[in-house]
A = this chain, B = another copy of it.
Amino acid sequence: MNSYSFEELSIGRTESFDVTVTEDMMADFLKITKDVNPLHNDEDFAKEKGFASRVVYGHLTASFFSTLAGVYIPGEKCLIHEVAYKFTKPVYIGDELTVSGEIAERDERVRQLKIKVRIKRSSDNATVIRGTMTVGVLE
């Protein structure tokens, strides 16, 4: 786990990691949320609606931004204030993803960073989510 101080976190700093979405993640996310929506749980329904197979929960994919902020940038001293995400492509089970963030703004008065975030799929290099996180850096 990184543990950057606010002083080390300059504009342009980037961090990333890779993760593969699994059946187990889908089952655990369903267990937490009880989101039984068929787009995520019923292969036939998803295909009927024009998707290749059941679609990974957008909020599951977005949860990797929790890891990005809490482990990588800023890491240990992180407190998430605000997020905004756009889901640009469906994600499927088995997809290999690269989760990345780059510091875009830095507000010294309140020790707050705006991080541009993005998740790309390895197989077709498509961006599946993009957005911003606003995070505080604890003392």
Residues of A in contact with B (beta carbons under 8 Å apart): 1, 24-25, 28-29, 31-40, 49, 57-60, 62-67, 70-71, 75-76, 78-87, 138
Of the candidates B38, B57, B70, the one whose C-beta lies within 8 Å of that of A66 is B57
Most central of A31, A62, A70, A71 by chain B CB within 10 Å = A70
Shortest CB distance A61–B (Å): 10
Complex Cα gap A66–B33 (Å): 7
A25 near B35 with CB under 8 A, answer no
Give the chain B neighbours of A84 by CB distance below 8 A.
Answer: 82-85
Do the beta carbons of A59 and B66 come within 8 Å of each other? yes
Chain B hits for A58, CB < 8 A:
66, 80, 83
CB distance from A137 to the nearest CB of B (A): 12
Which 8 A-B pairs have CB atoms at the shortest separation, nearest pair first? A37-B70, A59-B66, A84-B84, A35-B67, A28-B28, A35-B70, A59-B63, A33-B67
